[in-house]
Structure 1
Amino acid sequence: MTMLITGATIIDGLAETPLQGQAILIEGKRIKAIGKADELLVADDILTIDATGKYVIPGLMNANVHLLCDIRPETLIRYEGRYEELIAESAQIALKNGQTTVFDTWGPRRHLMAARDAIDAGQMIGSRIYCAGNVIGFDGPYSPDFGATMAQMLSPNFVNRINSTWVENSGRHLMWMTPDEVAKELRTYIAKGIDFIKYAANEHGGQSLGAFISFSERVQRAIVDEAHRAGITAQSHSMSVEGLHMSIAAGCDLVTHCNITGPREIPDETLDYMVKQGCGAVLFPWSDAALKWMRENVDDGTWTTVKATDANARNLVKAGARILLANDGAVMASEMLADPMVQKSWMGAPEEISLGRLATGHFVWFEAMEEKGMAPMEMLRAATRNIAIAYKKDADLGTLEEGKIADLLILDKNPLESAKNYRAINKVVKDGADIDIAALPLTPLLTRPLPEPLPEEAEYKHFAHTGQRFPLCACSAMMGH
């Protein structure tokens, strides 16, 4: 397939200003050339796309998603043996909304890799997937790291089957080991075919709300060194000021949700250290509208943490950190989003301001970062080039250049004029193919509508409803952790 895109303003992610009067020639899966349309040598059988008045940008990337995140027993029992279908649905929703490449930082390794490989082979449509499998040092879905309460309602056999599917040899038992022993286990895990590693600098939640350090400095350095020895990148899950500082010192290529540091703001010393080391800063920002919504819906203790998170995002922009777009993007079943407990969590916020939705959370990210003073071109790079560089995929992805993979979006409106214009997607091109985004997802499972209420539901009177107000993450929200 040869494709020629003409007439558009090209924002390639490299130049400081858009390119005018240029066309993009695509042959096969890669960009053949960028230049004046009448100077490009093209074949007779060519698909020409007239994009006059429109804007072409690199395909968007997301540095932190969870393509199988709905880990409620209701979902994992119903779809056992079909997890690749759930992952495919998520990858198609991401692609439909302009995310041509996503990095899955926690999920069932074998199933993620199967979906990844099927998409790469052209057997399945979806965003390009890179995956880490488990977060090194975390236990499984039905453990204190995520949803131990659910384990009480399930058979030991099912709990063990699910936890082992997520964890394998990469779980909490590593915390007892020496650096050399951890490196050996990690070597085994990397050899299974993951694309990068993510480890727990801080624990996930529990009673400490993520404050506890999971691994010593020596072990963290050993984890990062082992990843780099294998030629893949290393990132950490950080949730405290000290967890962030240790991650940078260990040599992480990027730190996930580095602006989440409990009720404490990141000191200037650590901000400067992060910038100096060139560590990628994966941010979860709240928009002004989302902050207003949370102030009205969360408890005072949670609000203290949210305020610090917001201040950290603004300070990282001012400090000049290399910022990466991410949002814990996930697809949640309709019945989960209808849960009154979830509706009072950050996942339950109205979709137009909700950061964590895989379909739309990246649009919210742009709008939030615009409010925090991030420059328009830097926002685009945070969603393209910066992610490609941090994950060492920039030889093929992240910018529009001759020889690179032809992943791009055609927008009806200029994204440099307003962050809201990222929503104005006209076409998605991935691997040089014009994607039929209207048809995605091909087989709705989690995104299918709620069934019609039973006749009995009109007569059923609830005795009471209780529930936690603000779980920190999507998984905790679902599991009542």
Structure 2
Amino acid sequence: MSRTLLTRCSIVGITCLLPLSVLARPKAPVAEAAVEQGKFILHKFAQPIGLETWQITRQPGGYQLTDKFEFKDRGTPVPLTMKFAYDKTGTPQSFNIKGKNSRLSEIDQKVLVNANTVRVQVDGADRTLEKPKAFFPIAGYAPTAQQLMLMRYWINHGKPAALRTLPSGTVQIAKRGQDRFTLDGKPVLLDRYLVTGLIWGRETIWLDQSNNLVALVSIDAEFDHFESVREGFQSLLPSFLSKAGEDEMASMKEFAGKASSDPSKTLALVGGTLIDATGKPAIPDSVVVIANHRIVAAGPRAQVAIPDGATRVDTTGKTIMPGLWDMHAHFEQVEWGPIYLAAGVTTVRDCGNEFEFITAVRDELAKGNGIGPQLLPAGLVDGTGEKSLGVQRVDSDADAQKWVRKYHDAGFRQMKVYSSMTRENVASVARYAHQLGMSVTGHIPSTMGLVEGVEAGMDQVNHIVYLYDAMQAEGKSPMSKGLRKIKLEDLKSFSVASPEAQKTIEFMKAHHIVVDPTMALWEVVTRNWPSTPIASFEPGVSKLPPELSVSFAPPAEEKAEDKEKMELAFQRMLEIVGALHKAGIDIVAGTDQAIPGHSIYRELELYVKAGFTPLEALQSATSVPARVMGMDKETGTIEAGKRADIIILDANPLEEIKNIRSVDKVIANGVMYDAAPLWKSVGFKP
């Protein structure tokens, strides 16, 4: 002890020497060894983007699950921590979750269980309620380990038909079957479950024979694809995605049979005003005959014979027009199918998805399984970078050839390039796509401008912000790098009449470029403030289920300068859309999701605000997209021989474009549905 600091103490009169360090430092508690632990690999669009680590330890009276969940989404960290305590019978004692559950949203929730009550705190708001007989604390899709605990709780409590969750909600869990996989040459048997009520829509979960969670296919808080796979099972992810798509579509079959007409019977729509979208005047007192999924005849009642035995649908006082197209969709859940049909959308272009999921869903719909529109997926590719999306990487000419061929052979009509591509690789994608008769759409990658993207071979452009950037004078702040980074003085000085803007318009026209501006999305982004919430311009937001509507709450704070800048940015976007349309450039209606089902209506309303006639706005969602996708001989107008995609409205949108919101019935590929039950089937108000 020659160099140890000492102190004197007296214990019942005996002097002793102890190291000062022992007196100064209390004895550290011995860490409890984990009784169970694990790791999940976190994915977005099938791309591994993060890691979840968890462990269960003993504590007085029971156990505690501690979880660290973190991923990086296109350069933005999304960290989340959680602690969950429960007693030896599995009864919850406390739950504490804090952090971010997407790039755009934060979460701070606590549940404390007492003898007869439960105290719940959500983002600082505190309430106490009577303790339910059975309940489980959980806060959405993350973390995965808490979904594991939910499944075990449900199994141990007799697999109830419904289980209350706190802070809010009710979940339903159903076993759907067993799946056999091969992993490292060995057979693996997993039980497949469908979970509803935890997020908006369905999740698919696989448990092994010991009730350990192996995989979760869900969505995150941005409603993007999210998957979590237990370490060691990553190679099975494509199989999980494909199976989830097939099974979730199959789960909707029963409802589909109840909601639809018999497509084998001839239908006659009699008495309505017909807008055929060809550009001809509307036809009052019309007849449209449908048989074998096709339009047999359409025109004035006096000129169209109604076949004997046809089922007559009285459309007197109503308006008949082609089904709508949404040219910027992301069909990431099967629930989008009923939503699109309820809204009158009978064809969607999916602008980026997981290959296995979207092909499974598309094929099930084509076979008549489930409910949904005609799906036209675009093959997503991106380059390697911090903000890459998906797993389809194109970093060379060989990569481009491989992915274009794979998408083409799977029946895709179009490629979509994303933000991390180089000019050379965009050119390679475009060259191979054009050789195979495919077109190319997408973002303008961050390494180039609009002119370079078009010169590299892009045929179409997603989002109006890239047009604003191209129309600005050199040195001005761009929109595509973030709306909040734009300088107010640059917005004030912008004009679509400027030489730069006019040069861009002429360039677009000369190259026959098609634009889907996604104006309804940008309106939500720029105009959602406490003084002007979304409901002030988009009434559909009030019809969303609670799990969705919470995502559209305005920010807590409203700064006058920020609001002025955002609203002026949106006004400039409208001016650009109007100028493009006036110049004869094709504009196609697309929503990029935004307010599900309703933003397609707002998109058309905004086009009229930008200078379209009501008919031109309707054509941007019917005949124009059919033409630019090379399908105008098959669909897009109401003419004999074409696919029977039709909507019946309670009011005429040529009189007021807002009447497009009055969808009563939809006919998709000859099958007729009432809109109201479709809305209700996914938790929306009609």
Same fold, TM-score > 0.5, yes or no: yes
Q: Check whether the contact 1:10–1:20 (CA below 8 A) recurs between aligned residues.
A: yes
Is 2:357 the partner of 1:100?
no
Cα deviations by residue, 1:273-318 (Å, 9 ceiling, x for unpaired):
1122222111122599865545965747766754543432232233
CA distance in 2 between counterparts of 1:314 and 1:294 reads 25
Between structures 1 and 2, the one with greater helix share: 1
1:223 equivalent among 425, 429, 454: 429
Further displaced range: 242-251 or 273-282:
242-251
**Residue 417 (str. 1) matches residue 651 (str. 2):** no
Residues 309 and 41 of structure 1: CA distance in aligned 2, closer, same or farther (over 3 Å): closer
Amino acid at match of 2:345: Q
Answer yes or no: is the 8 Å Cα contact 2:274–2:284 preserved in 1. yes
Matches within 5 A, 1:58-457: 58-68=322-332, 87-137=333-383, 144-145=387-388, 166-167=390-391, 170-171=392-393, 174-175=394-395, 177=396, 179=397, 181-200=399-418, 202-203=419-420, 214-216=421-423, 218-238=424-444, 243-260=449-466, 261=469, 262=479, 263=486, 267-285=501-519, 292-293=527-528, 297=558, 299=562, 305-329=569-593, 356-440=594-678, 444=682
Question: Given residue 516 of structure 2, which amino acid in structure 1 is its aligned partner?
Answer: V
Amino acid paired to 2:443? H
| Amino acid paired to 1:279 | I
SS in 1 for 2:575: helix
Structure 2 length-normalised TM: 0.49
Judged with a 3 Å threshold, the aligned counterparts in structure 2 of structure 1 residues 181 and 121 are, in CA distance, closer, same or farther, namely: closer
Q: Report the CA distance shift for 1:240/1:411 in structure 2 as closer, same or farther (over 3 A).
A: farther
**Residues 297, 640 of structure 2: 8 Å contact kept:** yes
1:324 alignment partner, SS class: coil
Q: CA deviation at 1:448?
A: 8.3
- Between the aligned partners of 1:272 and 1:8, the Cα distance in structure 2 is 41
Query: Which one has the largest radius of gyration?
Result: 2
Alignment check: 8 A CA contact 2:324 2:346 kept: yes
Distance 1:110 1:288, change over 3 A: closer
Distance (whole Å) between structure 2 residues aligned to residue 60 and residue 114 of structure 1? 23
Secondary structure (helix, strand or coil) at the match of 2:429 reads helix
1:288 to 1:125, Cα distance in 2 relative to 1, 3 A: closer
Q: Tell me how far 1:184 sits from its aligned partner.
A: 3.8
SS at match of 2:334: helix
- 1:57 alignment counterpart: 321
Displacement of 1:104 in angstroms is: 0.9
Aligned mates of 1:239, 1:320 — CA distance in 2? 25
Partners of 1:286 and 1:310 within 8 A in 2: no
Local SS of the residue matching 1:111:
helix
Contact 1:7 1:50 in 2 (8 A): yes
- Identify which range, 119-128 or 239-248, moves more after superposition: 239-248
Alignment partners' CA distance in 2, 1:317 and 1:40: 36
Amino acid at match of 2:422: F
**Cα pair 2:295 2:640 within 8 Å, conserved:** yes
Q: Tell me the residue number matched to 2:296.
A: 32
Name the amino acid aligned to 1:190: H
Cα distance in 1, alignment partners of residues 521 and 380 from structure 2: 30
Q: Which amino acid aligns with 2:353?
A: G
1:253-289 CA-partner distances (Å, limit 9, x unpaired): 3211144441576721111111222221111225998
C-alpha distance in structure 1 between counterparts of 2:642 and 2:346, whole Å: 14
Shift of the 238–416 alpha-carbon distance from structure 1 to 2, 3 Å rule, reads: farther
Q: Which amino acid aligns with 2:406?
A: T
- For 1:438 and 1:35, how far apart are their aligned partners in 2? 28
TM-score computed with the length of structure 1 as normaliser: 0.68
Q: 1:195 to 1:294 in 2, by over 3 A?
A: farther
Give the letter aligned to residue 196 of structure 1: Q
Higher share of residues assigned strand: 2
Shift of 1:31: 0.6
Structure 2: how far apart are the matches of 1:403 and 1:311?
38
Structure 1 Cα separation of the partners of residues 447 and 299 of structure 2: 47
Cα 1:117–1:138 change in 2 (3 A) is farther
Structure 2 vs 1, CA of residues 410 and 286 (structure 1 numbering), >3 Å: closer, same or farther? Answer: closer
Alignment deviations for residues 391-419 of structure 1 (CA, whole Å, 9 cap, x no partner) = 11212111111110010111111111212
Equivalent AA in structure 2 for residue 230 of structure 1:
L
Which residue of the partner structure matches residue 260 of structure 2? none
2:281 equivalent to 1:17: yes
Report the Cα distance in structure 1 between the residues aligned to 2:284 and 2:457, rounded to whole angstroms. 40
Gap change, CA 1:117 and 1:258, over 3 Å in 2 = same
RMSD of the TM alignment (CA)?
3.0
Aligned length: 363
* Cα offset, 1:434, TM superposition: 1.2
Unaligned 5+ residue runs, structure 1? 69-86, 147-165, 204-213, 330-355, 450-481
Amino acid at match of 2:425: V
Query: Residue 234 of structure 1 aligns to which amino acid in structure 2?
Result: V
CA contact (8 A) 2:664 2:676 kept: no
SS of 1:328 mapped into structure 2: coil
55-64 vs 13-22, which deviates more?
13-22
Kindly indicate whether the alpha-carbon contact (under 8 Å) linking 1:236 and 1:247 is maintained by their aligned counterparts in 2.
no
Q: Per-residue deviation at 1:432?
A: 1.4
Q: Give the 3 Å change call, closer, same or farther, for CA 194–287 of structure 1 in structure 2.
A: closer
User: By how many angstroms is 1:443 displaced?
Assistant: 5.8
